[in-house]
Amino acid sequence: MIRVEDLRSLPLFGDLSDDQITQLIAASTVVRIEPGVELFHEGEPADFWWALVDGEIELSRRIGREETLVGRMDAPGRWAGGFRAWDDRGVYLATGRGKVDGQVLRLPATALCELASAWFPFGSHLISGLYHTARSIESTARQRQSLVALGTLAAGIAHQINNPAAAATRAIDELEDTCRTLLSSQGLLARNELAAQQFVALDALRSEIGSRPTVSDPLTVSDLEGDLETWLADHGVEREWLVAPALAAAGADVAWCERAATVINGPALGPAMEWVASTLSATALLAELKESTGRISELVATVKSYSQMDRASMQRVDVASGVDSTLAMLGHKLGAGITIVRDYGSDVPTIDAYASELNQVWTNLIDNALDAMDGAGTLQVTVRADGDAVSVTIADTGPGMPPQVAERAFDAFFSTKDVGKGTGLGLDIARRIVVERHRGTITIDSRPGATALLVLLPGRPPAAPTAPPTRDRHVG
């Protein structure tokens, strides 16, 4: 049985009169806390208000396919639920299960509303308005921020995929034309009754070109094309302007053409040269197609790595790999004026962490650094071992943060960016992910012309996150 004296000592009830505490006890039920026994469930209507008297309750949420510990009710006076006292759509934000034996006061939300209205009528009106206003504003703002951030990343990755996709499409179109020319020239060779020994010798000359290094200097290729076009025209080869570029790109020269003319002469020389040029073009186009589709596969793998699809929330994480995936995702923002310097230690250990959440932190820090440099500067990314821990530094050569901005950078809802700019993930949330979820630290070192954010992540599995103690803290 709970007595008035039992609640009087709790800060939560310290300002109530004995009569008010008596009314509260009369309307409530005392529920025993037993380890592992569920008291309330995430997503269900928050029809009861729970106030801890003693013991401990763990709070968890379903994130993806896993249940993740998000907080604890471990100090008398902490409370959870009861939202339907003022919000008819209020639900429990987490699932509460007993951790340590004790007892909790359970008060129906309707009774909480009646008592609050009777004791604090003006305060009840303010709370009711706050719930509805906050729900509306927060829902709209989060939806908008999420859409903007998702749209920005999607547009960036689409831009990166578009280039190799367009190259692959172009290569396929050219390959189609090349194959037609290849078959046509082969048919002409057959009609000219080319001997088998001649074809074998011609194929050997083609293989010889294939083994030569390609010519990459544009001026050298241009001069070579001119010499080959002249030779081909002098020897009666039709469409020399189409044959010469393929031969020149593969490294063939006039001397090679002279050798080919000793093997194939007469009317068969033209089809023979077209056949060789077509085979060389087909090989080059296939290589381009392989490179383009390979790049698309790399980008898809990067997206998968960044989002951590099909993976457990907590896993062994290669931090440098996560940073690299983030840089790839933000590649559309890395213009010609941005220089990236990677400095990764060779002895950096893997750590147990929430990989997708860390990738969100890297996204925010790198995006902020790129915005600060405004298209020109150096982005220094350093990943180092620090004992069993891993340190990550994101540094930029932007103008730096004024002291008053640096002091408030980790404050909730603080931003210096215009609406629609950024990732929608403020440094406050980045700090929560690093500090509360991973028990790490995040600090800022900013001066004119240089800003660095240092993240230190412990190597051991992070302990269950516990909300910092605050008087009468609501945790569920």
pLDDT tens digit at each of 476 positions of the chain: 788 888 888 888 888 899 999 999 999 999 999 999 999 998 899 899 999 999 999 998 886 667 888 888 999 989 898 888 887 778 888 899 999 999 999 999 999 989 988 887 766 556 655 555 555 545 555 545 554 555 566 666 676 777 788 888 888 988 998 899 899 888 988 888 888 899 999 999 988 887 777 766 788 888 888 999 999 999 888 888 889 998 988 888 899 999 999 988 888 899 999 999 999 889 888 988 888 888 787 777 666 666 554 455 678 889 998 898 888 878 777 778 999 999 999 999 999 888 888 888 898 899 889 989 988 999 999 999 998 899 999 999 999 888 878 887 887 555 555 444 444 356 888 888 888 888 899 999 988 999 999 999 998 654 444 433 333 444 44
Question: Among residues 65, 94, 119, which one ends one of the domains?
Answer: 119
Placement of tokens 């994480």 in the chain: 317
Does the pTM exceed 0.95?
A: no
User: Do residues 291 and 388 both lie within one domain?
Assistant: no
Residue (of 109, 111, 110, 115) closest to 48 by Cα position = 109
User: Do residues 362 and 287 both lie within one domain?
Assistant: no
Residue 377 lies in a domain: yes
What amino acid occupies position 178? Answer: T
CATH number of the domain enclosing 70: 2.60.120.10
List, in order, residues 6 or more apart from 19 with CB less than 8 Å away.
none
Residue 307 lies in a domain: no
**Distance separating alpha carbons of residues 397 and 376, to the nearest angstrom:** 9
What amino acid occupies position 342? Answer: R
**Distance separating alpha carbons of residues 155 and 458, to the nearest angstrom:** 34
User: Do residues 105 and 14 both lie within one domain?
Assistant: yes
Residue 303 lies in a domain: no
Residue (of 25, 35, 37) closest to 1 by Cα position = 25
**Burial of residue 52 (number of CB atoms within 10 Å: 0-12, 13-18, 19+):** buried
408 φ/ψ angles, rounded to the nearest 5 degrees: -105, 5
189, 275 contact by CB (below 8 A): yes
Give residue 44's domain range.
4-119
Query: What are the tokens at 385?
Result: 């071992």
CATH number of the domain enclosing 403: 3.30.565.10
Question: Among residues 51, 84, 119, which one ends one of the domains?
Answer: 119
User: Do residues 172 and 288 both lie within one domain?
Assistant: yes
Residue 176 lies in a domain: yes
Residue 473 lies in a domain: no
SS3 44: coil
Structural domains of the chain, count: 3
User: Do residues 323 and 284 both lie within one domain?
Assistant: no
Distances, alpha carbon 465 to alpha carbons 30, 70, 200, 461, in Å: 27, 6, 74, 11
User: Do residues 275 and 403 both lie within one domain?
Assistant: no
If DSSP states are collapsed to H, E and C, what string results for 384-453?
A: EEECCEEEEEEEECCCCCCHHHHHHCCCCCCCCCCCCCCCCCCHHHHHHHHHHHCCCEEEEEEECCEEEE
Residue (of 350, 345, 348, 306) closest to 328 by Cα position = 306
**Kind and range of the H or E element at 100?**
strand 95-108
How many residues in the chain? 476
User: Do residues 450 and 330 both lie within one domain?
Assistant: yes
Residue (of 272, 291, 284, 80) closest to 165 by Cα position = 291
84, 44 contact by CB (below 8 A): no
Q: What is the pLDDT of residue 442?
A: 93
User: Do residues 422 and 316 both lie within one domain?
Assistant: yes
Residue 86 lies in a domain: yes
User: Do residues 220 and 351 both lie within one domain?
Assistant: no
User: Do residues 275 and 319 both lie within one domain?
Assistant: no
List, in order, residues 6 or more apart from 184 with CB less than 8 Å away.
274
Concatenated DSSP letters for 341-377? EEEE-TTPPPEEEEHHHHHHHHHHHHHHHHHHHTT-E
User: Do residues 288 and 411 both lie within one domain?
Assistant: no
Query: What are the tokens at 412?
Result: 């909730």
**Kind and range of the H or E element at 382?**
strand 377-386
355, 317 contact by CB (below 8 A): yes
103, 54 contact by CB (below 8 A): yes
195, 272 contact by CB (below 8 A): no
User: Do residues 230 and 349 both lie within one domain?
Assistant: no
Q: What is the pLDDT of residue 419?
A: 40
Residue 127 lies in a domain: no
Residue 264 lies in a domain: yes
**Distance separating alpha carbons of residues 381 and 322, to the nearest angstrom:** 12
**Kind and range of the H or E element at 262?**
helix 254-263
